[in-house]
């Protein structure tokens, strides 16, 4: 029999999350722009660059992708990330023909657009990477083990089990125990990026922000999908997630007309910075390079 005093598992998790957030806020004082505590004394300052490229023509009224426009957006994105003079030089600065390159898209439920995966393949081949050296690497730990380099290619979305389900969560299947990173435990997603078969292999983070999802993810609830028509890219996975989180939170505020926190809180973003040292989550340390369509850029 249940009673009014019975604590369900979900109630316990919510209490735990609240305790973690409260303790972090007390320790850090001010909130940073990524939605977590800005613990200025916790580590030395870092810096990162995040590129946002948008084009209003990349999706039509029925959300179909114009692959010609997408190819141009990708070329613009990659040379901005690297600072090289041409897209081909940019890809060559990131990868060598001897590399075995694993593409890691979001596999299902609001997945990475297959047109973007195909565009990356075309661009890599055009830069001199043999097609046989390019493979999909989403799945078990044997996938990154067989690669010398990875491109994280998640879709931008909120997630009802981890708060945000984008960059840091993109490697969750490599853990072999994805459910252990749900709810308050999403704070530990960064440890997956430090597994021996994963650590140091991610040369580029390329976020599919063509049609993001700002609530109820990963299930694609049409009420919370919108045509952002963008790509977000960085060499820093934490900075890319922090910027994506800013966009999601701004869209949620626009829909509600007030603050609309994610549940559970996306603790993984600040923890990847403060606990696991994967990059910076602080917007004050992130340089944004915005290009293309400026309407409702949200960050």
Higher pLDDT, 15 or 245: 245
What would the pLDDT profile of 102-129 be if each residue is shown by its tens digit? 999 999 889 999 999 999 999 999 999 9
Tokens found for residue 283: 């917007």
pLDDT at 143 over 60: yes
Distance CA 297, CA 230 (A): 9
Report the percent of the chain where pLDDT is more than 90.
82
Phi-psi group of 279: left, alpha or beta (phi > 0 → left; psi -120 to 50 → alpha; rest → beta): left
Tokens found for residue 137: 């690497």
What does pLDDT average to over the chain? 89
Residue 89 has a pLDDT of: 97
Residue 10 has a pLDDT of: 37
Where would I find the H helices in 40-113? 67-82, 87-94
Residue 285 has φ and ψ, to the nearest 5°, of -105, 5
Higher pLDDT, 234 or 217: 234
Confidence of residue 42 (pLDDT cuts 50, 70, 90): low
């Amino acid at each position: 029999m249940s009673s009014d005093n019975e604590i369900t598992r979900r109630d316990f998790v919510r209490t735990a999350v609240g305790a973690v957030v409260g303790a972090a806020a007390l320790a850090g004082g001010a909130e940073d722009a990524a939605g977590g505590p800005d613990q200025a004394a916790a580590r030395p300052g870092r810096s990162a660059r995040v590129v946002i490229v948008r084009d209003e023509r990349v999706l039509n009224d029925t959300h179909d992708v114009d692959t010609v426009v997408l190819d141009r957006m990708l070329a613009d994105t990659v040379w901005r990330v690297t600072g090289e003079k041409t897209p081909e030089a940019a890809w060559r600065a990131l990868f060598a023909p001897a590399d075995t390159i694993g593409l890691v898209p979001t596999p299902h439920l609001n997945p990475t657009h297959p047109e973007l995966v195909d565009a990356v393949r075309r661009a890599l081949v055009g830069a001199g990477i043999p097609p046989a050296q390019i493979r999909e690497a989403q799945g078990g730990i044997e996938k990154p083990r067989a690669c010398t380099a990875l491109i994280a290619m998640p879709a931008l979305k909120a997630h009802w089990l981890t708060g945000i389900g984008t960059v840091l969560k993109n490697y969750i299947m490599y853990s072999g125990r994805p459910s252990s990173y749900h709810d308050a435990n999403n704070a530990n997603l960064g440890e997956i990026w430090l597994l021996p078969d994963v650590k140091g292999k991610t040369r580029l983070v390329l976020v599919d922000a063509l049609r993001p999802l700002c609530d109820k993810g990963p299930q694609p609830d049409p009420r919370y999908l919108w045509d952002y028509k963008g790509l977000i890219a960085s060499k820093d996975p934490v900075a890319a997630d922090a910027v994506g989180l800013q966009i999601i939170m701004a869209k949620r505020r626009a829909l509600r007309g007030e603050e609309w926190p994610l549940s559970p809180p996306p603790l993984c973003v600040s923890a990847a910075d403060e606990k696991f040292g994967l990059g910076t989550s602080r917007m004050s340390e992130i340089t944004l390079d915005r290009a293309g369509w400026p309407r409702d850029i949200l960050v």
